[in-house]
Amino acid sequence: MAGVDINAIQEGFEVFASDGQVAVGAVRKLPQGRGDIIIYIENAGDFHVPLDAIRDVHSGKVILDMSKLDHKLREAIRHAHDAEDPKIADRTE
């Protein structure tokens, strides 16, 4: 998304590798003025994400442009749900 409106992003918004997928984390902190947002990735911690690496923002979601993220962050996203117990994650009640 060219020229992401930082005002459209709020702390607590869920973060996604692509729309329609399961959330991989959440927005933790917004920059003062221009700069990176800080996101928390499940099982990996906090990462800085430049605004140009955000593809879209809507409905309380931040969708990332994976091609613009560094290798360490892409790997963290890829493994965000590794520690989940599939017996609990698949439970429907």
Alpha-carbon span 17 to 35, nearest angstrom = 20
| Share of the chain residues as helix, strand and coil, in percent rounded to the nearest 5 | 25, 30, 50
Q: How confident is the model at residue 5 (pLDDT cuts 50, 70, 90)?
A: confident
**Residue 10 above 90 pLDDT?**
yes
Q: Residue 38: inside a domain, yes or no?
A: yes
Q: Residue 65: inside a domain, yes or no?
A: yes
Domain count, the chain: 1
Whole-number pLDDT of residue 1: 41
Alpha-carbon span 85 to 76, nearest angstrom = 18
Q: Residue 89: inside a domain, yes or no?
A: no
What length is written for the chain?
93
What is the CATH classification number for the domain harbouring 43?
Answer: 2.30.30
The stretch 52-76 carries a mean pLDDT of: 94
Print the domain residue range for 74.
8-82
Q: Which residue has the higher pLDDT, 17 or 5?
A: 17
The 10s digit of each residue's pLDDT in 22-48 is 999 999 999 877 779 999 998 899 999
Q: Residue 70: inside a domain, yes or no?
A: yes
